Structure 1
Amino acid sequence: MGAKRILMLVGDYVEDYEAMVPFQMLQMVGHQVDAVCPGKKPGDVVKTAVHDFEGDQTYLERRGHNFRITADFDSINPEDYDGLVIPGGRAPEYLRLNDKIIQIVKHFAEKNKPIAAICHGPQLLTAADVIRGKKLTAYPAVKAEIVLAGGIWCDVNETFTNVCVDGNIVTAPAWTAHPWWMAKFLELLGTKIEP
């Protein structure tokens, strides 16, 4: 199998489950995961938000945990990584304003390295202009951005448990899709799970 190096892009009010769960799942199978955030150093934390679905017209947001940064954003080189994870929450809406973030996303897209984006995470893909002609899903509120950026929208089911894979990109609508989202990402990475 061989351990892979995975880069995770986070910021304050990243969705709690969408950062913590993939971070732990990828470590569980032996991969190294470096969580980075502009302006933060290893050992610093980002505040997370828990998004839940309770029958309202949109998600409900609660304060989550503190999520620890594990690598220095300023010194990372995307060439050193085999895959990219982009959690959702509110962080992507402002992370996409950072030029280095956009260059990182473009690197993974241009080099055809596996990218896993969930919920509002595809906002970084649209901002980097790397989805033209590709099929993606996301939290439904991101549909207009995907379509306007030239992407093809994959409908989500009412339980938000489906995923969409197109080439090197796997996307999902929300944390409820974690098992399927991470399984497809691991396939793209070439990770084999032995019983």
Structure 2
Amino acid sequence: MPAKDILVIVGDFSEDYEVMVAYQALQMVGHDVDVACPDKEAGDTIKTAIHDFRGDQTYIETRGHDFELTASLNDVDPNEYDVLLLPGGRAPEYLRTREVVLETVRHFFEEDKPVAAICHGPQILAAAGVLDGYELTSLPDVRTDVEHAGAGCTWVDEVTRDGNLVTGQTWEDLSEWLAELLDLLGTEISHEEPITADD
């Protein structure tokens, strides 16, 4: 299967692991990945946030990294990308109010292209009005947003693939979520025997 061109939409205080791990893992298996933010240029940075679950009523948040963007969302042509990825964190709370984000999301659904969202990422899907009839998951605290997002929209408590939409709950789901996305994309990963000193 040829490499895919993947667009990741982020903003300040996107969840660190969901950006960094996805970006590196998708590149590692041969895909081309652009990370873009509205109102920022390629070469600018976003601040990420690390979320942790320690038995409180909600997650705690600490400062993550400065992540360098590879594209500007305002200049991106979604026709040039095969896949859309929406990490979570706090960024989706305000990204869902940016028309360029919503228009980009709608393009991927209208063209039936693969979309992967995790954590708070489905808040953007809900705001874009694209979830009619879908079964999906999200951070459990976003469940109400998802359930009211569209006719026949169903929230489930696990990593889920419905058609071309792959969703996960938190960064703890990253390996399963990414594996489901790679399966959808038809990405084949081969394992070769390691070279030893005797070879």
Amino acid of the residue matched to residue 100 of structure 1? V
In 1: Cα distance, 2:163 partner to 2:127 partner = 19
**Superposition pairs for residues 151-166 of structure 1, below 5 Å?**
151-155=153-157, 162-166=158-162
In 1: Cα distance, 2:115 partner to 2:74 partner = 21
What 5-or-longer segments of structure 1 have no aligned partner?
156-161
Q: CA deviation at 1:194?
A: 1.6
What 5-or-longer segments of structure 2 have no aligned partner?
192-199
Partner residue, 1:158: none
In 2: Cα distance, 1:116 partner to 1:73 partner = 17
In 2: Cα distance, 1:93 partner to 1:58 partner = 16
Amino acid of the residue matched to residue 7 of structure 2? L
* Pairing 1:192–2:194 present: no
Partner residue, 1:140: 140
Q: CA deviation at 1:85?
A: 0.5
The structure with more radius of gyration: 2
* Pairing 1:183–2:179 present: yes
Partner residue, 1:49: 49
In 1: Cα distance, 2:72 partner to 2:61 partner = 28
**Superposition pairs for residues 1-195 of structure 1, below 5 Å?**
1-150=1-150, 151-155=153-157, 162-195=158-191
Question: C-alpha offsets along residues 87-131 of structure 1, whole Å, 9 cap, x if unaligned?
Answer: 000000100111111010011111111111000000110001111
RMSD: 0.8
In 1: Cα distance, 2:74 partner to 2:159 partner = 32
* TM-score when normalising by structure 2: 0.93
CA contact (8 A) 2:73 2:100 kept: no
In 2: Cα distance, 1:107 partner to 1:193 partner = 29
Q: CA deviation at 1:75?
A: 1.5
Q: CA deviation at 1:72?
A: 2.0
Question: C-alpha offsets along residues 143-183 of structure 1, whole Å, 9 cap, x if unaligned?
Answer: 0011111220102xxxxxx4111000000000001111001
CA contact (8 A) 2:13 2:48 kept: yes
CA contact (8 A) 1:82 1:189 kept: no
CA contact (8 A) 2:6 2:83 kept: yes
SS of structure 1 residue aligned to 2:190: coil
SS of structure 2 residue aligned to 1:145: helix
SS of structure 2 residue aligned to 1:36: strand
SS of structure 2 residue aligned to 1:46: strand
SS of structure 2 residue aligned to 1:8: strand
In 1: Cα distance, 2:82 partner to 2:186 partner = 10
SS of structure 1 residue aligned to 2:24: helix
Which portions of structure 1, spanning 4 or more consecutive aligned residues, are displaced by more than 3 angstroms?
Answer: none
* TM-score when normalising by structure 1: 0.95
